[in-house]
A and B are shown apart, each in its own frame.
Chain A
Amino acid sequence: MPREAEPSLNERAFVVQALQEGLRLDGRAFDQFRGLDLKFGDHYGVADVTLGKTRVLANVSAEVTAPYIDRPFDGIFTITTELSPMASPAFEVNRPTETEVLLSRLLEKTVRRSNALDTESLCLIAGQKCWSIRVDLHVLSHDGNLIDGSCLAVVAALRHFRRPDTSIEGETLTVYTPAEREPVPLSWLHSPFCITFSFYGEEGEIMLLDATLLEEQLRVSSCIISLNKHGEICQIAKLGGTPVEAVSLIQCASAALTKGKELSTLLDQKLAEDSKRRDKGGLLAELSAENER
């Protein structure tokens, strides 16, 4: 199984020395994100996030199915991540690497366990029928900071998604196609975002946001903080690595809050733009009785 090429000793020394002098390889500030772009697809529920050279695509789909036996009042919500060799030669299909396991666990904790999506609203007939929402995450290109990009893509896709409308008369459940009835958005409670901090130096005293792949390979430890714009932390994960002063981590948390609010405004803005775009030529226009003449 091929491994990622490790940075050479020269590269390693150069990058670390530059960081100690306050310089980053691509000239960014230590707490600056790369160019972040968020695009929505034509179908509802497709979100494409570009973070520098990292590109992630999230796709949401829904189907009606039976709920879990031990949770008859909840719908089913799953996030699947599969890293394919398209993103990096180190990834193999069906062989989860450590990166993949961590990514899927982080998304699970950030989006699923924090109840960003109200699963009770997905229930149709208790114990028999419910919606199963499935988010498929595809990593198209890996240049560092998969986690932040993936989380944003997942949240954006879920907020963008519209599921078919349903109605229940007595025992029969009717699911309407988009042509019959306008699809409805999901019941969304809060929007969590992940921010990854990378640490460098003997004591982990240098802190970077949004590391590129090269910077990721050279870091001595990392901390991923997920929170929403209200300042609620959904999860923190500093999984080993060089020990870092507790004070630094507290500072990270407040930095994360600022960044999270920025991401939240960005997402709201993009969603508004997209719905305006759809409205212009979309179904809503057709539904109206006005015509152009």
Chain B
Amino acid sequence: MPLDTSTYDLALLRVDGRRWNELRRLDGQIRTQAAADGSSYLEMGNTKVMCVVSGPSEDKRRGQTSASTATGSNAADVAVSVVVAGFSSVDRKKRGRGDKRIQELQTTISKALASNLHTHLYPRSTISISLNVLSQDGSLLAALINASTLALIDAGIPMTDYLVACTAGSTSSYAANDDRADPLVDLNNQEEQELPFLTMATLGATDKVAVLVCESRVQVSRLEGMMAAAADACKGVRDFLDQVIREKGHKMVTEGTIEKGASMAIEIDA
């Protein structure tokens, strides 16, 4: 939504027809990968992310560098690897593993999950989380965190609460101190490129912020509004994830669990 030629003020509708507090179409599935301990597939609009969790498993790299958390080696290590496919954006672009932006994403997700999971139950082990980004259309970090949460629940790793994330932006430019500026929720790629936005992850439906990342210039006074909007949206995402888990659980109870080794068909909407 371009700032100058914005039609937002006319009908208060965004380019894709959403209002300021509406999330995009969410679609989530768990247990998509039969051979893994936990797996999930999440779509937030056109952002499609797959997550595979293995663990907790024996830690082969003990004694070398570990994340210097206050708990030291009495907790499981959360190792995150993010692979952004070359075909995920409109232009095909190959991103190497050593890309610092990807490393930062990995560190962020790892630290956020480490404080949420009950890692003290698994000392000297590693929980490996492997994320694949199939398509990007904004809210990348948020989708990665949500998909990880789903997969970890599928793997049965105990945690305090759902770790949910969402993006929020503002229609004001950074210089203007525009009190009429509205916060927006769940931005797509076009909106992210033009408007200031932040990604926020909360612990379930509470107001506790686990992750807050803002990489664009925005006025301090806008911050509170954006964070409040994001917190509300996170509550909506939490309800959605909870529903996905419960439906799958219900299916498993009524139809019997599916064993590893049987082939699975999942519907990935085109």
Partner-B contacts on A (CB < 8 A): 1, 3-4, 6, 12, 90, 97-98, 101-102, 104-105, 108-109, 113-114, 203, 217-221, 223, 227, 231-247, 249-250, 253-254, 257
| A-B contact list, 9 entries, CB within 8 Å | A3-B68, A232-B175, A235-B213, A236-B214, A236-B223, A243-B203, A246-B202, A246-B227, A250-B224
Residue of B64, B68, B103, B213 touching A236 (CB-CB under 8 A): B213
In the bound complex, residues from chain A placing their C-beta under 8 Å from that of B217 are 114, 232-234
Instruction: Report whether A240 and B115 are in contact in the complex, using a CB–CB cutoff of 8 Å.
Output: yes
From known contacts A97-B65, A243-B202, A253-B223, infer whether A109 and B215 are also in contact, taking CB-CB under 8 Å. yes
Residue of A12, A221, A237 touching B115 (CB-CB under 8 A): A221
Bound together, the chains give a CA A254 to CA B223 distance in angstroms of 10
Instruction: Annotate B101-127 by CB proximity to A: 1 below 8 A, 0 otherwise.
Output: 101100111111111100000000000
In the bound complex, residues from chain B placing their C-beta under 8 Å from that of A4 are 68
In the bound complex, residues from chain B placing their C-beta under 8 Å from that of A242 are 115, 210
In the bound complex, residues from chain A placing their C-beta under 8 Å from that of B66 are 3
Instruction: Report whether A231 and B209 are in contact in the complex, using a CB–CB cutoff of 8 Å.
Output: no
Instruction: State the Cβ distance, B196 to closest chain A Cβ, in Å.
Output: 8
A244's nearest neighbour on chain B, judged by CB, is: B209
Residue of B65, B68, B101, B116 touching A105 (CB-CB under 8 A): B101
Instruction: Report whether B107 and A102 are in contact in the complex, using a CB–CB cutoff of 8 Å.
Output: yes
Instruction: Report whether B209 and A105 are in contact in the complex, using a CB–CB cutoff of 8 Å.
Output: no
From known contacts A101-B104, A232-B175, A253-B223, infer whether A220 and B213 are also in contact, taking CB-CB under 8 Å. no
Instruction: State the Cβ distance, B126 to closest chain A Cβ, in Å.
Output: 16
Interface size on B, residues (CB 8 A): 47
In the bound complex, residues from chain B placing their C-beta under 8 Å from that of A257 are 220
Instruction: State the Cβ distance, A75 to closest chain B Cβ, in Å.
Output: 20
Residue B239 at the A interface, CB < 8 A?
Answer: no
Instruction: State the Cβ distance, A164 to closest chain B Cβ, in Å.
Output: 31
Bound together, the chains give a CA A250 to CA B226 distance in angstroms of 11
Partner-A contacts on B (CB < 8 A): 64-68, 70, 72, 100-101, 103-104, 107-116, 174-175, 198, 202-203, 206-221, 223-224, 227-228, 231
Instruction: Report whether B219 and A238 are in contact in the complex, using a CB–CB cutoff of 8 Å.
Output: no
Instruction: State the Cβ distance, B184 to closest chain A Cβ, in Å.
Output: 17
From known contacts A105-B101, A233-B218, A249-B227, infer whether A238 and B212 are also in contact, taking CB-CB under 8 Å. yes
Instruction: State the Cβ distance, B22 to closest chain A Cβ, in Å.
Output: 21
Instruction: Report whether B104 and A105 are in contact in the complex, using a CB–CB cutoff of 8 Å.
Output: yes
Bound together, the chains give a CA A40 to CA B198 distance in angstroms of 36
Instruction: Report whether A246 and B115 are in contact in the complex, using a CB–CB cutoff of 8 Å.
Output: no
5 further contact pairs, Cβ within 8 A, besides A232-B219, A240-B111: A90-B65, A97-B65, A109-B215, A231-B219, A246-B227
Instruction: State the Cβ distance, B68 to closest chain A Cβ, in Å.
Output: 6
Instruction: Report whether A241 and B111 are in contact in the complex, using a CB–CB cutoff of 8 Å.
Output: yes
B222's nearest neighbour on chain A, judged by CB, is: A233
Instruction: Report whether B115 and A238 are in contact in the complex, using a CB–CB cutoff of 8 Å.
Output: no
In the bound complex, residues from chain B placing their C-beta under 8 Å from that of A246 are 202, 207-209, 227-228, 231
Instruction: Report whether B212 and A223 are in contact in the complex, using a CB–CB cutoff of 8 Å.
Output: yes
Instruction: Report whether A113 and B211 are in contact in the complex, using a CB–CB cutoff of 8 Å.
Output: no
In the bound complex, residues from chain A placing their C-beta under 8 Å from that of B223 are 233, 236, 250, 253
Instruction: State the Cβ distance, A132 to closest chain B Cβ, in Å.
Output: 19
Bound together, the chains give a CA A98 to CA B64 distance in angstroms of 14
Instruction: Report whether B175 and A249 are in contact in the complex, using a CB–CB cutoff of 8 Å.
Output: no
Instruction: Report whether B212 and A101 are in contact in the complex, using a CB–CB cutoff of 8 Å.
Output: no
Instruction: Report whether B67 and A243 are in contact in the complex, using a CB–CB cutoff of 8 Å.
Output: no
Instruction: Report whether A235 and B212 are in contact in the complex, using a CB–CB cutoff of 8 Å.
Output: no
Instruction: State the Cβ distance, B172 to closest chain A Cβ, in Å.
Output: 11
Instruction: State the Cβ distance, A101 to closest chain B Cβ, in Å.
Output: 5
